[in-house]
Amino acid sequence: MSESNFVDYVKIFCQSGNGGPGSAHLRREKFVPKGGPDGGDGGRGGHIILKGNSQLWTLLHLKYHRHIKAGHGGHGGKQCRFGASGEDKVIEVPLGTVVKDAESGNFLAEVTHEGETLILFEGGRGGLGNTHFKSATQQTPRFAQPGEPGIEAWVIMELKILADVGLVGFPSSGKSTLLSVVSAAKPKIADYPFTTLVPNIGIVSYRDQQSFVMADIPGIIEGAHAGRGLGLRFLRHIERNAMLLILVPADSKDHRKEYFILMDELGKYNPELLDKQRFLVISKADMLDDVLMAEISRLFPDIPHLFISSVSGYQIVALKDKIWQILKEN
């Protein structure tokens, strides 16, 4: 999927339908010149409904459809006929979509399962017809209830990628190269920062026809938790990963410092991210000999880690085994 087609944030206007008014009709027939009330109830307004669709990977289809309005309920009729319900509007969204109120920022809904449906905004209730207001003292009420108005609001939809493994690292740490080697994904790869501007997803095949989903999250930089370098847009995709694979390249100037800067950014954005299972990978290990590997290992005496090279394939199978072990433990 090209970067221009990946949309993970949209702001749209939603309006559920108004309820139809009840009828104040009085029965008038050839031999019943002064019949009682027979007005029916109005129909309910249409709902705004969210539906999860696992075939969607982006919010692109909503980018140019900013106003979504459900149908209004029909009027109640004579002979106690109910008004028709307004047409519901179903918004299909990719799994992992979160909806918030655009004005207050309050959480409204979240869709995480295929086929899951949630009513985002209910339509207004239809008004009662005059038959409901008949009594011993008022046998011919000439009034009925109006329908309730629908709900209208601007909402923000954010997509948070659902993946088993999230690749986390500074720009040019080798995340895209690793994803291209272990899966059929073809992310853009180059030797300059921020080559990846949107998350890329790949299915990694494992033993016995098993697999797991890996997501290449665009590079984090220091200050990302405060929005630097589009950090907030990148970091929210990490929240849905079952485990985090932290990549520190072999040519880093300070491997330990780089690792803890990444941990600091994750913790400042959302402390719960530090509770996720994570594993450290020293990438581009084809640049190292045994002595240098031993020196780098001494920097992480209490942190499990593995040296890999996506170019030469060094330890790639061992990395898959480790990832699978962690996922199974979870």
What span, in angstroms and rounded, lies between the C-alpha atoms of 133 and 190?
74
Query: For residue 194, what are the contacts with CB-CB under 8 A and spacing of at least 6?
Result: 171, 218, 219, 229
Q: What is the DSSP letter of 177?
A: H
In angstroms, the first-to-last Cα distance of the chain is 30
Cβ-based neighbour number of residue 94 at 10 Å: 22
**What angle do helix axes 316-329 and 175-182 make, rounded to 10 degrees?**
90
Query: For residue 82, what are the contacts with CB-CB under 8 A and spacing of at least 6?
Result: 40, 41, 42, 43, 76, 126
CATH number for the domain that contains residue 209: 3.40.50.300
> Are 205 and 114 within one domain?
no
> Are 86 and 227 within one domain?
no
> Are 13 and 107 within one domain?
yes
What span, in angstroms and rounded, lies between the C-alpha atoms of 24 and 44?
17
Residue 168 CB-density burial (10 A; 0-12 exposed, 13-18 middle, 19+ buried): buried
Run of H or E including 235: helix 231-235
Please tell me the total count of domains within the chain.
2
Residue 236's domain spans which residues?
165-329
Closest CA to 68 of 85, 44, 93: 93
Scan for tokens 């249409």, then name that residue.
Answer: 46
> Are 93 and 197 within one domain?
no
Q: What are the φ and ψ backbone dihedral angles of 273, each rounded to 5 degrees? A: -65, -30
> Are 147 and 44 within one domain?
yes
What the block records as the tokens of 107 is 């959480």
- Considering all CA atoms of the chain, what is the largest pairwise distance in Å, rounded to the nearest integer? 107
DSSP letters of 131-148? GGG--SS-SS----PPPP
The tens-digit pLDDT sequence of the chain (330 residues) is 445 567 888 999 999 999 999 999 998 887 777 788 999 999 999 999 999 998 888 898 998 899 999 999 999 999 999 999 999 999 999 988 999 999 999 999 999 899 999 999 999 999 999 999 999 888 889 999 999 999 999 999 988 877 889 888 888 788 888 988 888 766 555 454 444 456 778 888 898 888 888 888 775 655 544 444 444 566 777 787 889 999 999 998 999 999 998 898 888 888 888 888 999 999 999 999 999 999 999 999 999 999 999 989 999 999 999 999 999 887
Amino acid letter for position 158 = E
Domain boundary among 126, 141, 159: 159
Domain boundary among 159, 177, 207: 159
Domain boundary among 138, 159, 180: 159
